[in-house]
Amino acid sequence: MIKNRLRQGIVDLPRQELTAEVEALGKELKRVIDRRFKGSFQIREVDTGSCGACESEIISTTNPIYDIQRFGVSFVASPKHADALLVTGPVSRNMLLALQKTYEALPGEKFVITVGDCALNGGLFKDSYYTLGGVDKVLKVDLHIPGCPPSPTTIIRHLLAFLAA
């Protein structure tokens, strides 16, 4: 993440341009969620050992600029109320059991979404004795959102593409 930040510098879109893109993506996301999930798509998030950057971007999706909840997406405390499991970070040995139990507690059809490069293959931590690697070594992953970390707009765009398919 630090290497990417130093290479890219600070990327900031003018607020009006960002807002227009988020509004367009959000309206389409709301339409898809209304059709497939009767108005709300609930996500339970589990951090299995990340550095916190992906969580920061996920939290940003709920801030006043993005406000993903107005488009029907919300984060819930219990997996029993969730439509999907969202996982960040490489799977650390300490979080393996918690990840498996959270997955088992999801009702009905289970979607697993991973966010960030660490969740894909372990990222910076992939050769560590402390991790098992990517989430796909433990659970079947339905959607991966790439990036280190992915921006809130990237997260919304990938969710839309996945749910619309």
How confident is the model over 135-149, as pLDDT tens digits? 999 999 999 999 999
pLDDT (0 to 100) of residue 26: 95
pLDDT (0 to 100) of residue 19: 84
Q: 150 φ, ψ to 5°?
A: -70, 145
Tell me the C-alpha distance between 122 and 90, whole Å.
Answer: 4
Per-residue pLDDT band at 12 (split at 50, 70, 90): low
What is the pLDDT averaged over residues 33-45?
Answer: 96
Q: What is the DSSP letter of 151?
A: P
Could you count the other beta carbons within 10 Å of the beta carbon of residue 94? 11
Proportion of the chain above pLDDT 70, given as a percent: 94
Per-residue pLDDT band at 18 (split at 50, 70, 90): confident
Does the pLDDT at position 4 exceed 90?
no
Contact residues for 149 (Cβ-Cβ < 8 A; gap 6+): 1, 53, 54, 56, 57, 115, 116
Q: Look up tokens 């919300």; give the residue.
A: 74
Are 84 and 118 a contacting pair, CB within 8 Å?
A: no
Q: What is the pLDDT of residues 48-105, one digit of tens each?
A: 999 999 999 999 999 998 999 999 999 999 999 999 999 999 999 999 999 999 999 9
Radius of gyration of the chain (CA): 16
Are 68 and 156 a contacting pair, CB within 8 Å?
A: yes
pLDDT (0 to 100) of residue 13: 63
What is the pLDDT averaged over residues 114-118?
Answer: 97
Does the pLDDT at position 9 exceed 90?
no
Tell me the C-alpha distance between 107 and 109, whole Å.
Answer: 7
